Chain A
Amino acid sequence: MTRRIRPLLLAASLTALPAAASTPAQRGLVVFQQVCAACHGMEHVDYGDMTALGLSPDDIRKWAADQDLPDGVDDNGDPKTRHATPSDPILSPYPNAAVGRLANHGLLPPDLSRLVLTLPGGADEIRQILLSYAPTPPGVKLDEGRYYNTALKWKHIGMPPPLQDGMLTYPDGTRATSVQMANDVSAFLDWVAHPHQSERRRIGLYVLAYLALMALLTFLLQRRVWSSRR
């Protein structure tokens, strides 16, 4: 069932790409939109947060509008939906966990908001998992909906191999190999887990420089005061 839905979802999400994706995180966003978003959400991340990756307001609006959210009931008491707006979270395509499990052999695709922080190994581990699919060796019997993957302790995972060479076209012309996409999407998820990290470090340097200067001045002041002690 999942296999049949995915191309449809994929086609639906083929809108709204960053104009010229260039950094790994920006290219990773393209991979997320076209591949990951078919099953995963990032419930604490808003569409609007993607401005920080250089996605234009129009592209964000267009991307958000692909998602329908429940919006109370209409005059006949039937459930209504509305298009998502930039201030809405990037939810998974499944309306609830039960549907998500049903569509994925009983396993719920995890939310990606903080996955890099909560998955031991972080972004590297995600990259490894994406690149470690292999044909099931003879003699190994996996349950239905399980895929052979050497990066995991038990050598199998519920996520079907998501990446294939050339499955998407990067707007900046980078060749979309599996390795390239795995690198990019793990960089993107790393950014998603702590979106303010570069700003945090940049400001931190200024703060430390300021405090170092203050330490120097107060040190001189202190020495002067104490040297005149009777």
Chain B
Amino acid sequence: MAQSETPPSPDGTKRRDLLATGTLALGCAGACALSVPFLNSLKNPAATPLSDNTLEVDLSTLAPGQNMTVQWRDWPVFIQRRTPQILAALQAPGHLATLRDADSKILQQPKDATNWHRSVRPEYGVLIGVCTHLGCVPTFDKPSSAPDAEGGYFCPCHGSHFDAAGRVVQRAPAPYNLPVPPVTFLSDTKIRIGHSAGDPGFSMSDIQQI
């Protein structure tokens, strides 16, 4: 059918083409602009500067060698009270040689926890219990369950081993150490998770991976 051809343009093709292209382009731009509020509505409503992301935890009931789990920003946080045996194990040269990142070179913790015990005070360890492999929650290997256990963590999903300071062993599928949240000691037995007095600028969004 000859009719379906674009009608001939007596006064120059160029101008009409500009008009048609321009209209089409502007129409498409409008459609794109329309998608903005829809995508906007999918934003995380909790991610406002207003959200109060600190949690105070009382440690007075935590006995040496015990581990407790609290929830902070939807993450499980492991708080561990370390025994002298655990602390000794963390520094054993033979143990350090098996770790992927023994010196915590990769940013997975605030500055005040970038040390051999990966915490503000050696006797307390605070870790985010999310395996850096695929996000499962590791379980605590109690020192009491096996006499030689060093109080490390074991991920049930793919068998990653972490030591008591959350450092991952070399042969594990997890690529990084467990993240350490910012922690401030309010007293000897009370901590605030969510703010680090030693590294005030630290934010969880800065770390390599959670």
* Direct A–B touching, Cβ under 8 Å: yes
Listed in ascending order, the chain A residues whose CB lies under 8 Å from chain B are: 48, 51, 57, 60-61, 85-87, 210, 213-214, 217-218, 220-221, 224-225, 228-230
Q: How far is the CA of A224 from the CA of B7 in the complex (A)?
A: 10
Is residue B146 within 8 Å, beta carbon to beta carbon, of the partner chain? Answer: no
A202 to chain B, nearest CB (A): 14
Partner of B23, one of A60, A85, A217: A217
User: Is B7's CB under 8 angstroms from A57's CB?
Assistant: no
**What's the Cα separation between A228 and B46 when bound, in Å?**
57
Q: A228 with B50: in contact, given A210-B30, A214-B23, A214-B30 (CB under 8 Å)?
A: no
- Asked if B95 lies at the interface with its beta carbon under 8 angstroms from chain A, I say no
Q: Are B50 and A221 in contact (CB under 8 A)?
A: no
With A87-B46, A210-B30, A217-B19 known as contacts, the answer to whether A61 contacts B52 (CB < 8 A) is: yes
Chain B: interface size category: 10 to 19
* Majority DSSP secondary structure for residues of A touching B: helix
| Contact B7–A87 (Cβ < 8 Å) | no
B58 CB to closest chain A CB (Å) equals: 12
Given the known interface contacts A214-B27, A228-B8, A228-B10, the answer about A61 and B50 at a Cβ–Cβ threshold of 8 Å is yes
Residue-wise interface mask of B (8-44) relative to A, using a CB-CB cutoff of 8 A (1 in contact, 0 not): 1110000010011011001100100100000000000
**By the criterion CB–CB under 8 Å, are A87 and B50 in contact?**
yes
CA distance A228 to B11 in the complex (A): 10
Closest residue of chain A to B20 (Cβ to Cβ) is: A221
Q: Which residue of A lies closest to B30 (CB)?
A: A210
Total cross-chain contacts (CB, 8 A):
44
Bound: A218/B8 CA distance, A: 18
Chain B residues in the interface with A (C-beta under 8 A)? 7-10, 16, 19-20, 22-23, 26-27, 30, 33, 46, 48-52
Take A217-B26, A221-B19 as given contacts and tell me if A229 and B49 are in contact as well, using a CB distance cutoff of 8 Å.
no
Chain A, Cβ-Cβ closest to B49: A57
CB atoms of A228 and B19 under 8 A apart: no
Known: A57-B50, A60-B50, A87-B50. A229 touches B22 (CB 8 A): no
B23 touches A218 (CB 8 A): yes
CA A220 – CA B17 in complex, angstroms? 12
Rounded to whole Å, the gap between the CB of A212 and the closest CB of chain B is 12
A214: chain B residues at CB < 8 Å are: 23, 26-27, 30
Beyond the given A221-B16, A224-B9, A228-B10, please list 7 additional residue pairs across the A-B interface where CB-CB is below 8 A: A86-B52, A87-B50, A210-B33, A214-B23, A214-B26, A214-B27, A228-B7
Enumerate chain B residues within 8 angstroms of A86, measured Cβ to Cβ.
Answer: 48, 50-52
